A and B are shown apart, each in its own frame.
Chain A
Amino acid sequence: MAGLSLVFYIGLVVATAVGIVAVSRFLGGKPLTAAKDTPYECGMPPVEMDNAVFPVRFYKTALLFVVFDVEIVFLFLWALVVRDLGWFGLVEIGVFIAILMAAFLFAWWKGDLRWE
């Protein structure tokens, strides 16, 4: 029952989002002038730019994020059973986080967290 209403709800959400876009395409007018077809750059004629170029810092941030996100998945499971594990769970998670922080501090020291 819970699964069914969940699937029904998500279906409802998707249908609404797609429906709104479809209806507005049908109701909304088409652009009248060709100038509206160019990218908005405050009225200047657009200068060509390769869309795949971006600063490498974003990539480093993404890498760090992946590491921590995986860590958090593990922490969620640990949090559920921490009462039963007692001191063993505490020591174990302490070691886990210490190893992680060593890597994190290394990234910090190397300047991967710096944005100018």
Chain B
Amino acid sequence: MKAEIGLVWRLLEVILFFAVIMGLVAYMTLMERRFLGFFQVRMGPNRVGPQGLLQPIADGIKLLFKEDLTVSHARRFYFTLAPIISLVAILACFAAIPMSGRFHVADLSLALLYIMAFSSLGVYGVLLGGWSSGNKYSLLGGLRGAAQMVSYEIPLALALVGVVVLSGSLSMTEIVQAQEGRWFILRQPLGFLIFLTAVSAETGRTPFDLVECENELVAGYQTEYSSMKFGLFYMAEYAHVLLASCLATHLYLGGWNGPLLPPLAWFGIKSFLVFFFFIWVRATFPRLRYDQLMSLSWKALMPLALANLLITAALVVYPPFG
């Protein structure tokens, strides 16, 4: 009997975790719009509820009641599947992200590998969405998006290997524990920069938003999507940014550890600051050209990440030089 009660509590905890993630994703859209407003010296959405706090709910309801279009050229099955894959691939990653030492879905020993595996499935959503729409802009956007995500996955993964070399473990809990006293950002400054750049490209946000690229491709692979199918892509994008913020916190900024405040608060503060940094970047930088984007990944970030990895490994093996 006791075991059953424990199990029910555990499952309720998982549901709570999921609800927190969904709530965060919804309110990140509002935060981003408000902050972008401030950066551009305008108000941003502030009409629905006090300070616009009900805006994400209003958006959700509005999207649910929008016309659910499927163009007759589209391959219907894949057209419906693509947004589902996009969202599932990203949300599933959070199972390996603990919010504190105790509040998590599962403390996986292969957490980092699990996250890499699921987050790279997101490419299928972009590619399928672009291809199945039966629209030129969609196809171009999908191909560009897939090539971009795939190219930046390599520097991203190489930067992560640097963290693994230092921690000697793939488990998030152990990686966070290994940073007590000295955060990995101090031992991997170059790795952190590569991580931030590659992850912004993976999420397809502004300096790297060639996936959507309004003035060339209408909206890229999302062109033919409407209603909540479009909503799923949108949620997937913000969930990806949230995942990036959490990962940066755990891998480089010492995770939930910090003085005085409870672990959950530290996790929240650090992740919020990283998220704010992403908004800041979006408000500041213009978009790259596609050839610049590809050569940045292959000719600059990839060799740098490899060098960073080798130097880190050498310092770990021969600490007197480190």
Contacts and interface: CB of A to CB of B under 8 A. Distances in A.
Interface in A76-101: 76, 79-80, 82-83, 85-87, 89-90, 93-94, 97, 101
A31 B139 CA distance: 23
A30 B68 contact: yes
Contacts of A76: 112-113, 157, 161, 164, 170
Contacts of A114: 291
B185 interface: no
Nearest to B6: A1
Contacts of A21: 80, 83-84, 228-229, 232
B222 to A, nearest CB: 11
Contact of B294 (A23, A29, A40, A115): A115
A18 B81 CA distance: 9
B169 A80 contact: yes
Interface string B150-178: 11011001100100110011100000000
B168 A80 contact: yes
B224 A12 contact: no
B133 interface: yes
Contacts of B65: 27-29
Interface stretch (B36-44, B88-96, B189-197, B256-264): B88-96
B277 interface: no
Interface string A101-116: 1000000100001111
B226 to A, nearest CB: 8
Interface of A: 1-6, 8-10, 12-14, 16-18, 20-21, 23-25, 27-32, 36-42, 49, 51, 54-55, 58, 61-62, 64-65, 68-69, 72, 75-76, 79-80, 82-83, 85-87, 89-90, 93-94, 97, 101, 108, 113-116
Given A51-B131, A61-B147, A113-B295, A80 B15 contact: no
Interface of A is mostly: helix
Given A83-B317, A113-B294, A5 B14 contact: yes
B137 interface: yes
A62 to B, nearest CB: 7
B67 A30 contact: yes
A9 B105 contact: yes
Contacts of B2: none
B106 A5 contact: yes
Contacts of B83: 17, 21
B47 interface: no
A32 B68 CA distance: 11
Contacts of B15: 12
B280 interface: no
Interface string B80-115: 100110011001100100000000011110001100
B313 A58 contact: no
Nearest to B71: A39
28 contacts: A6-B106, A8-B14, A9-B17, A16-B91, A17-B84, A17-B91, A21-B232, A24-B68, A28-B64, A28-B227, A29-B68, A39-B73, A42-B218, A51-B134, A55-B143, A58-B147, A65-B154, A72-B154, A75-B158, A76-B113, A76-B170, A82-B313, A90-B313, A108-B298, A108-B299, A113-B299, A115-B290, A116-B291
